[in-house]
Amino acid sequence: MNLKTLIRQLKTSPWLAPFLAAIDTVLWLSDWVATLSTPHRPRPETLLIIRLDVFGDYLMFRGFLEQIRQSPTYRGHRIIYCGNAAVRSVAETFDSAFVDEFIWTDIYALSTNLQYRFRFVQQLRRLGVQTVFCPTYSRVLVLDDFLAWASGATQRIGCRTDYVNIKRWEAALGDRLYTRLIDSGPGLLFEHERNRRIVEEFLQKPVRQYAIQLNSVLAAEVPLPQPYIVLSLGAGQEFRVWSAERFASVAYQLQREYPNHAVVLTGSPSEQVYADQFKRTNPLPEPTIDLTGQLSIPQLAYVLSRASLLISNETGTVHLAAATQTPTVVVSQGKSLIRWHPYPPELATHIVHVYPPEVETNRHRLAEIAPDLNPESPYQIATISTDRVYQSAANMLQATGVR
């Protein structure tokens, strides 16, 4: 069992609630001692944004940084962004114009390494910020709430939370650590719209919905033969992974129709196992170029921006493809329907999701069935056939004029 899985079990298992409470207490005591030992010297016109979630979450939020920077309230402020180190390369490459200083942290070390956490809290405390803003809707008590409080900011603005990452008693405790809570409204919303509402309430002024885009000029060049199709074989959780053999079958069929296209494999180093499975299939699409574990996020953005098509599991790469305007077919078992997918037409028309049959037959009423697929879907990704994915991919290539 890896650390990520263990932490998820602590958050969700009622049997482990006393253990979770003990961990919360220890971390709070560590933060309390760190604040007592570190002076907070207030610096006027300083804003600290704390957002510690992962890649897809950041891509859904990053466009609002510009609107915060340009707002009358914070135009003259020093803006500091405290984030998950996993998004460092994309943030520093594409968003440095809107942030004066980035502070990065290992979110798992914050929960498991007291010495690391103690020093990090001291670092936040020394910033002397006047205002802290935690725009995360699915809060985590020991990350978002404790760190906002420990910063020493006189104004601590957070969001009323759902209970995906937090127990109700934790949320009640965390609420007390803020001076103001933003209510972004009930029900399931697409995450981008949720963020827009939160930022609008934070700024107390209308906030426009923006196109999810990256400046491809800033992406890091990767030499590849043109044209090509990209496959993203992994996902953060095993139940969201469509088999590598099925990806290979679809890619082989597409190459028969589009023989001038290479196949490019991407993914994190931990997803090399899927690339290896893909390359053991017979027949194997040729040529196949394996870039798994070799690309930074700016390099991946470059690769996607020049691809004829991306076929992917439901993962952060899909949101990067939304930003690079890459035609995309997503194989999804339906987890977090509406909140994370499908993309509303006004934000992206180039992304198509293929769902299990139980979801596909209810395409006309996704909002009605979405509560049954949040936060987890009961359906199996294996029920999605290669024929359906191939047909969606072929239709996408045809619609975009690929030959």
Residues 251-286: pLDDT tens digits? 999 999 999 999 999 999 999 999 999 999 988 888
Cβ–Cβ under 8 Å, residues 293 and 272: yes
Predicted pLDDT of residue 10? 59
Nearest to 273 by CA among 241, 318, 249: 241
Nearest 10 degrees: Cα torsion 312, 318, 321, 322? 140
Q: Tokens 């597409």 appear where? A: 254
Q: How many CB atoms lie within 10 A of CB 341?
A: 20
d(CA 279, CA 181): 50
Nearest to 177 by CA among 395, 44, 31, 8: 31
Cβ–Cβ under 8 Å, residues 332 and 352: no
Q: Is residue 327 predicted with pLDDT exceeding 90?
A: yes
pLDDT confidence tier of residue 7, bands split at 50, 70 and 90: low
d(CA 358, CA 380): 10
Output the average pLDDT for the chain.
94
Q: Is residue 209 predicted with pLDDT exceeding 90?
A: no
Q: For the chain, what percent of residues have pLDDT higher than 70?
A: 96
Helices vs. strands in the chain: H and E counts, helices first? 17, 12
Predicted pLDDT of residue 394? 97
E-strand ranges in 70-190 read: 78-84, 101-105, 131-133, 155-159, 180-182
pLDDT in tens, 22-33: 999 999 999 999
Average pLDDT of the residues in 147-152:
98
Q: How many CB atoms lie within 10 A of CB 197?
A: 17
Predicted pLDDT of residue 18? 80
d(CA 48, CA 32): 19
Nearest to 367 by CA among 239, 193, 158, 208: 193
| SS3 assignment, position 88 | helix
Q: Tokens 């690309």 appear where? A: 295
Q: Is residue 126 predicted with pLDDT exceeding 60?
A: yes
Predicted pLDDT of residue 217? 86
Nearest to 182 by CA among 170, 173, 190, 194: 194
Predicted pLDDT of residue 136? 98
pLDDT confidence tier of residue 19, bands split at 50, 70 and 90: confident
In this structure, whether the domain defined by 3-203 belongs to CATH 3.30.70.260 is answered with: no
The verdict on pTM exceeding 0.85 is: yes
- The fold for domain 216-399 equals Rossmann fold (3.40.50)
Q: Is residue 3 predicted with pLDDT exceeding 80?
A: no
Burial classification of residue 33, based on how many CB atoms lie within 10 Å of its CB (0-12 exposed, 13-18 middle, 19 or more buried): middle
d(CA 328, CA 352): 6
DSSP character string of 290-324:
E-TTT--HHHHHHHHHT-SEEEEESSHHHHHHHHH
Predicted pLDDT of residue 5? 57
Q: Is residue 1 predicted with pLDDT exceeding 60?
A: no
Higher pLDDT, 15 or 4: 15
Domain boundaries, the chain: 3-203, 216-399
DSSP label at residue 376: -
Cβ–Cβ under 8 Å, residues 317 and 266: yes
Nearest to 148 by CA among 116, 181, 115, 106: 181
Q: Which residues are within 8 A (CB) of 99 and not within 5 positions of it... i.e. 6 or more apart?
A: 65, 69, 79, 80, 81, 91
pLDDT in tens, 345-386: 989 999 999 999 999 999 999 999 999 999 999 999 999 999
3-203 and 216-399, same CATH topology:
yes
Please give the structure tokens belonging to residue 292: 């798994």
Q: Tokens 């009323």 appear where? A: 160
Average pLDDT of the residues in 169-195:
97
Q: How many CB atoms lie within 10 A of CB 345?
A: 7
pLDDT confidence tier of residue 402, bands split at 50, 70 and 90: confident
Q: For the chain, what percent of residues have pLDDT higher than 90?
A: 88
At residue 114, what is the residue type?
Answer: L
pLDDT confidence tier of residue 8, bands split at 50, 70 and 90: low
Three-state DSSP string of 25-84? HHHHHHHHHHHHCCCCCCCCCEEEEEECCCHHHHHHHCHHHHHHHHCCCCCCCEEEEEEE
Nearest to 39 by CA among 103, 158, 126: 126
Average pLDDT of the residues in 162-183:
96
Average pLDDT of the residues in 115-143:
98
Consecutive H or E run containing 149: helix 146-150
Nearest to 181 by CA among 130, 128, 121, 137: 137
Higher pLDDT, 124 or 208: 124
